[in-house]
Each structure stands twice: as C-alpha cells, then as structure tokens.
C-alpha cells in the first residue's frame, strides 16, 4: 500500500525526531562519562536516567513510524 503525502510526511517526521533523540543520547552519554570521570557521579547518574527516557522515546517514535507505514496510523484532514 502506497502512503499518501501527509502520511509520508508524518512517517518522515517521526523517523527524523527518533534520529534526533538518538544523536542527543550519544552526546549526553559523552557528557555523563565526563561527569563521572570528574567525580560528579550524582549528575552523571541523572544524565544516565535521562538517556533511558530518550531511548524509550526513540523506540516509541520508531514504532509509530512503522505503524504509519503499515497503515494503522493515518493522518487525515488538510492540516499537516
């Protein structure tokens, strides 16, 4: 099944945001490692907890993009 333009845009947006979260998580990991090496373990652990949230969000968005591709999520209306 071919996707409509609005659904193609939605899928692309979801994948793009998931990619942004992944990139941000990589950068945060570097920051957390530097914090830990500097002896700031409390802040490093806080950043590691944020990473868990980012990874979960990335997975959810990728799943939504798959649902758009499969036609289970459909964008309707003229507002995109």
pLDDT tens track for 48-69: 999 999 999 999 999 999 999 9
Buried b (16+ CB within 10 A) or exposed e, 36-69: beeeeeeebeebeeebeebeebbeebbebbeebb
Phi, psi of 2 (to 5 degrees): -85, 140
pLDDT (tens place) for every residue of the chain, 80 residues total: 688 999 999 999 999 999 999 999 999 999 999 999 999 999 999 999 999 999 999 999 999 999 999 999 999 865 55
């Amino acid at each position: 099944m071919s996707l409509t333009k609005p659904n193609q845009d939605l899928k692309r947006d979801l994948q793009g945001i998931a990619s942004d979260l992944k990139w941000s998580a990589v950068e945060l990991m570097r920051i957390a490692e530097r914090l830990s090496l500097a002896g700031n373990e409390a802040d490093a652990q806080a950043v590691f907890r944020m990473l868990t949230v980012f990874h979960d969000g990335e997975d959810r968005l990728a799943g939504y993009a798959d649902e758009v591709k499969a036609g289970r999520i459909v964008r309707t209306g003229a507002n995109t």
